[in-house]
Chain A
């Protein structure tokens, strides 16, 4: 099977569906506006492009939330997106918010600090959501959602996820088709939580490899053994599938202990769209 070919998408069709989805999700909830944490990376940039088309650029607030160690390139790349789309924008450094906590917890690992930063950004976004009167638009893609490469209640927190069913390599295709600046397309994906961090360095595999393997395991319903027989290193297959399973809790609502005849999450079932 030519898996790379299976991961190719009709970008015009994806744009049509996702722009319609964003507009519907925002309007159905009684809003006209959205708020996006714009890092200058590929996912948030593509989300901003789609949201601007769906809602009109004047209705999409881009919020830049640098930390002291964030690369200046990220701020500049985000600015290029803000300028290209004509978005209203805020820059709110999180350094003075997280530093007191870091100072009180001197033993914090890079991961703990990164998670606190991601959750601090969530707090800012949800507050700006209330101030601007717009829904928080998620920027998670399918690869990171499956791998759990995300901070629960941090960057994963959003009203809806337009890119949640696109693998990272498909995000790249759609971003290129929509005219995302070449510098953003070219740079290595990074959560930019500490200097020199890259997704692929931290995860240990390239997105090209990961997306092909996840396509087999998830979309095509291959067993790990069948995926390995397609030429993937069995250790990689085992490791990736372990991560998918280990992080499933990040993709589901917390379990509610059932006691009554009708219980939230078990048999009190309505669409999210029922809200309102």
Chain B
């Protein structure tokens, strides 16, 4: 089975949902015209990234009753779309979230489980921590979604792999940093290395959408990419420029790669569980647990 994947590498306007929604619809139209089956937007694509007190003003209840989501759901009838937004739950907790829309329905919601709150990041000040990492079924098979810092930790992609995800959808608003003599910023090198590592270690497709543009002094470097189960980069968007990246991927590559390299078959989850239980019990005894 072959599917055509699109990445909308956009520059969202900070705090301007109507402008960002219009841009989403424009990219969805262009993607549809290019034959895209699944279109991925970056982290917080509908709102912009460093929202600070705007978090509370821009939060949405994802449903057909929400004016933004009703439009996006209508646009998702003939191609699947993944968008980033601020999710306010029924108890008024605010999450960095991603929604997978297909056939006019919300198929899956992911609330970011790792909130960077160090150095230039202050997400933990504003957002609640998501508390689940779940793969989900789509018309293209079983997928998983993670948001930026979620995949700076190895455990969420690992959990999605074990939960059946053969395609990882990774969404970022990754600020560029670490200018040296390299051909890319240090932050870009790190993320690209990790994308290829996950594809290689899990023999998965990894589709990473990163945003571009500026917020105050921060730059966002783009360079969205699609990596195959051999860890090879199939397509890469330009750095620092808005772009629609379109790439057809052959899901039968999963069969071919896993015939050669049965890492999933041989993964010793029981061993992992036993040792993890032992390690956590030891930590609980020493430190009172995590």
Residues of B near A273 (CB, < 8 A) are 14, 214-216
Verify if B107 is at the interface (C-beta below 8 Å from A). Answer: no
- Please count the residue pairs between chain A and chain B whose beta carbons lie under 8 angstroms apart in the complex: 57
Contact A10/B179 with A268-B53, A270-B54 known, Cβ cut-off 8 Å:
yes
Does the CB pair A269–B52 fall under 8 Å? Answer: yes
Verify if B176 is at the interface (C-beta below 8 Å from A). Answer: yes
Find A9's partner among B181, B217, B219 (CB 8 Å cutoff). B181
Does the CB pair B214–A270 fall under 8 Å? Answer: no
Does the CB pair A10–B182 fall under 8 Å? Answer: yes
Residues of B near A24 (CB, < 8 A) are 213-214
- Please report which residues of chain B, range 183-217, place their CB below 8 angstroms from some CB of chain A when the two chains form the complex: 183-185, 213-217
Q: Sort chain A's interface into a size bin.
A: 20 to 34
Does the CB pair B179–A270 fall under 8 Å? Answer: no
Verify if B180 is at the interface (C-beta below 8 Å from A). Answer: yes
Does the CB pair A274–B54 fall under 8 Å? Answer: yes
Residues of A near B185 (CB, < 8 A) are 13
Contact code string B156-183 (vs A, CB < 8 Å = 1, else 0): 0000000000000000000010011111
How far is B219's CA from A8's CA once the two chains are assembled, in angstroms? Answer: 20
Find B14's partner among A8, A165, A269, A271 (CB 8 Å cutoff). A271
Tell me, rounded to whole Å, the shortest Cβ–Cβ distance linking A116 to chain B.
Answer: 30
Tell me, rounded to whole Å, the shortest Cβ–Cβ distance linking A19 to chain B.
Answer: 10
Residues of B near A271 (CB, < 8 A) are 14, 50, 52, 215-216
| Partner-A contacts on B (CB < 8 A) | 14-15, 50, 52-54, 176, 179-185, 213-217, 219, 239-240
Looking at B181, B215, B240, which has the most chain A CB atoms within 10 Å of its CB? B181
Does the CB pair B176–A17 fall under 8 Å? Answer: yes
How far is B185's CA from A8's CA once the two chains are assembled, in angstroms? Answer: 13
Does the CB pair A10–B183 fall under 8 Å? Answer: yes
Residues of B near A269 (CB, < 8 A) are 52-53
Find A270's partner among B52, B176, B213, B219 (CB 8 Å cutoff). B52
5 nearest interchain CB pairs? A269-B52, A24-B214, A271-B216, A8-B181, A269-B53
16 intermolecular pairs with C-beta atoms under 8 Å apart: A5-B181, A8-B180, A9-B181, A10-B180, A13-B183, A17-B219, A24-B213, A160-B217, A161-B217, A164-B217, A270-B52, A273-B14, A273-B215, A273-B216, A274-B14, A274-B15
Residues of A near B179 (CB, < 8 A) are 9-10, 13-14, 17
| Partner-B contacts on A (CB < 8 A) | 5-6, 8-10, 13-14, 16-17, 20-21, 24-25, 28, 160-161, 164-165, 267-274
Contact A20/B214 with A9-B179, A10-B182, A13-B179 known, Cβ cut-off 8 Å:
yes
Residues of B near A17 (CB, < 8 A) are 176, 179, 219, 240
How far is B230's CA from A206's CA once the two chains are assembled, in angstroms? Answer: 51
Question: Which A residue's beta carbon lies closest to that of B221?
Answer: A17
Residues of B near A267 (CB, < 8 A) are 53
Residues of B near A8 (CB, < 8 A) are 180-181
Does the CB pair A6–B180 fall under 8 Å? Answer: yes
Does the CB pair A16–B240 fall under 8 Å? Answer: yes
Tell me, rounded to whole Å, the shortest Cβ–Cβ distance linking A164 to chain B.
Answer: 8
How far is B14's CA from A273's CA once the two chains are assembled, in angstroms? Answer: 7
Tell me, rounded to whole Å, the shortest Cβ–Cβ distance linking A163 to chain B.
Answer: 12
Does the CB pair A272–B216 fall under 8 Å? Answer: yes
How far is B52's CA from A273's CA once the two chains are assembled, in angstroms? Answer: 12
Residues of B near A13 (CB, < 8 A) are 179, 183-185
Known A-B contacts: A9-B181, A271-B216. Give 8 more (CB < 8 A).
A5-B181, A10-B182, A13-B185, A20-B240, A21-B214, A165-B217, A273-B14, A273-B216
Tell me, rounded to whole Å, the shortest Cβ–Cβ distance linking B124 to chain A.
Answer: 14
How far is B239's CA from A191's CA once the two chains are assembled, in angstroms? Answer: 37
Does the CB pair A10–B181 fall under 8 Å? Answer: yes
Tell me, rounded to whole Å, the shortest Cβ–Cβ distance linking A37 to chain B.
Answer: 21
Tell me, rounded to whole Å, the shortest Cβ–Cβ distance linking A56 to chain B.
Answer: 19
How far is B213's CA from A16's CA once the two chains are assembled, in angstroms? Answer: 12
Looking at A8, A24, A272, A273, which has the most chain B CB atoms within 10 Å of its CB? A273
Tell me, rounded to whole Å, the shortest Cβ–Cβ distance linking B50 to chain A.
Answer: 6
How far is B219's CA from A20's CA once the two chains are assembled, in angstroms? Answer: 9
How far is B183's CA from A17's CA once the two chains are assembled, in angstroms? Answer: 13
Residues of A near B54 (CB, < 8 A) are 270, 274
Find B214's partner among A9, A25, A164, A268 (CB 8 Å cutoff). A25
How far is B36's CA from A273's CA once the two chains are assembled, in angstroms? Answer: 33
Residues of B near A161 (CB, < 8 A) are 217
How far is B215's CA from A161's CA once the two chains are assembled, in angstroms? Answer: 14
Residues of A near B213 (CB, < 8 A) are 24
Tell me, rounded to whole Å, the shortest Cβ–Cβ distance linking A198 to chain B.
Answer: 28
Question: Which B residue's beta carbon lies closest to that of A18?
Answer: B219
How far is B216's CA from A161's CA once the two chains are assembled, in angstroms? Answer: 10
